[in-house]
A and B are shown apart, each in its own frame.
Chain A
Amino acid sequence: DVVMTQTPVSLSLAIGQPASISCKSSQSLLGTSGKTFLNWILQRPGQSPKRLIYQVSKLYSEVPDRFSGSGSETEFTLKISRVEAEDLGVYYCWQGTHFPFTFGSGTKLEIK
């Protein structure tokens, strides 16, 4: 199975600061279709996960543009340009290129 490694495990930031979360995969996530199925979700405290980004860098329509995703092959990054209070929670990356699909262990974002 593809192992997804997220760092850091947690980060504590003040509102307005930038955030960066790394996600590394044990195999290339570039599929035979030429697409890379690396996705990001956010789970706020006490809630179910919400979709954020798909195929590395594509934001869902409801996601604020302070979020961005980048990367290729085995290294990916989620960035928040300026953290807001509503951004707290646990961020997970997950891959949909290789079966079985697998998730990172999560990065907890706390607001100072």
Chain B
Amino acid sequence: EVQLVESGGGLVQPGASLKLSCVASGFTFSDYWMSWVRQTPGKTMEWIGDIKYDGSYTNYAPSLKNRFTISRDNAKSTLYLQMSNVRSEDTATYYCTSGGRYGGYWGQGVMVTVSS
């Protein structure tokens, strides 16, 4: 059974940094592009970016590129999202997904709330 389990969310202050993790199981993680997508409290879906199966290439939404960094550790079957200088508009549920542009499985999501 494929599982994607995100963690690392919570309440953070504006300007802080936060690192989300997504542990994958049930498939060969190192064979797949992986992505991060977030869903705002108003239910709008926003693609954050993705990373090639070997970690050698990343793509980002231009509006987030300067503050968010995606990485992966294939030995640990884990995807990461490093968020820096967070803002109130970053408040959302963050999902990791498999398959890149082809789509695929979604994790259960992790909530991030940015507030002082």
Contacts of A48 in B (CB 8 A): 95, 106-109
B45 & A96 in contact (Cβ 8 Å cutoff): no
Asked if A76 is at the interface (CB within 8 A of a chain B CB), the reply is no
Interface size on B, residues (CB 8 A): 24
Contacts of A99 in B (CB 8 A): 59
User: Which of B23-31, B74-82, B97-105 interfaces with chain A?
Assistant: B97-105
Question: Do A96 and B100 form a contact, CB below 8 Å, given A103-B47, A105-B44?
Answer: yes
Which bracket fits the contact residues of A? 20 to 34
B47 & A102 in contact (Cβ 8 Å cutoff): yes
A90, B45: Cα distance in complex, Å: 12
A51 & B61 in contact (Cβ 8 Å cutoff): no
B103 & A51 in contact (Cβ 8 Å cutoff): yes
CB distance from B33 to the nearest CB of A (A): 10
B106 & A51 in contact (Cβ 8 Å cutoff): yes
Give me the interface of A with B, judged by CB distance under 8 Å. 37, 39, 41, 48-51, 54-55, 90, 92, 94, 96-97, 99-103, 105-106
Could you list 19 further interchain pairs (A-B, Cβ under 8 angstroms) beyond the known A54-B102, A103-B37, A103-B44? Answer: A37-B101, A37-B102, A41-B103, A48-B95, A48-B106, A49-B95, A51-B103, A54-B103, A94-B47, A96-B100, A96-B103, A97-B101, A100-B49, A100-B60, A101-B47, A101-B101, A103-B45, A103-B46, A106-B45
